[in-house]
Amino acid sequence: MEQEKQEPPIPTRLRFIARILIPIALFVVISDQYTKNLVVQHFEPLELLPVIDGFFNLTLHYNKGAAFGLFHDLPDGIRQITLWGVSGLAVLAVLYFLLYEFYADRLGVISMSLILGGAIGNGIDRAVLGKVVDFLDFYVGSYHWPAFNIADIAISVGAGLLVIITIFDRFRAKP
C-alpha cells in the first residue's frame, strides 16, 4: 500500500515562501514607488514626454479607480470601500494560495510575490494619495492603452505566470 505524501508544516512552508516572496515583493514595491515618485516630482498631470514617437510616452496620470479606470465613476466613499475590499480579498487569496497551493512550487511563489508586491505598491498610493500614479503610456496612432505603472506590470506578469502554471499542470496531470 502506498503511503500518502505528508505535507510540510506551516512554519516550513513559510520559510520557503519568505526566501522568495520577500525579495521579489520588496523589489516590486521599491521600484514601483521610486519610479512613481520620480514622475510626480518631474511632471505635471497629463504632461507628455515622447520616448518613442508614435508608440510610447512618459506621462503623469492619476487613476482614482482600479485597473483601466474601473470604478473611477463611483462616489468617493463607495469607491474607496469597494477598492479596499477587493484589494483585501485579493491579498487573502494570494496568502491562501501561497500557504496551501504553491508552498512547494517556486514559480507559483514567484507569481504570487509579483502580484502581492504590485498590490502593495498600488495600495500605498491609495492610502497616501487616494489614487494611483500611472505614467507608462503606450499607443499606436490615436489608440492609447490606459496608462499603467510598475505595480501593474508585476500584477500582470504574476497573473500570466499563474495561467502558464495552470496550463502546464493540466498537461502534467494527465496519464
141: pLDDT strictly greater than 70: yes
Strand runs labelled E in the chain? 48-52, 56-63, 132-140, 143-144
Domain membership of residue 1 (yes or no) is: no
What would the mean pLDDT of 61-89 be, rounded to a whole number?
82
Per DSSP, the three-state class of 141 is: coil
Please check whether residue 14 lies inside any domain of the structure: no
Number of Cβ within 10 Å of residue 90's Cβ equals 16
Domain assignment of residue 150, given as a range: 24-48+55-173
124-137 mean pLDDT: 94
pLDDT at 2 (0 to 100): 52
Residue 157 lies in a domain: yes
Query: Which residues lie below 8 Å from residue 62, measured CB to CB, with a gap of 6+?
Result: 45, 129, 131, 132, 133, 134
Residue 9 lies in a domain: no
Residue indicated by cell numbers 474607496: 80
Q: pLDDT digit string (tens) for 1-13?
A: 455 667 778 788 8
Residues assigned a catalytic role: 134, 152
Report which of 166, 128, 139 is spatially closest to residue 36, judged by C-alpha positions.
Answer: 128
**Domain for residue 39, yes or no?**
yes
**C-alpha cell at position 30:** 521599491
Domain membership of residue 4 (yes or no) is: no
Average pLDDT for residues 125-148, to the nearest whole number? 93
In a domain, 129, yes or no: yes
Q: Has residue 2 been placed in a domain?
A: no
Q: What total of structural domains would you count in the chain?
A: 1
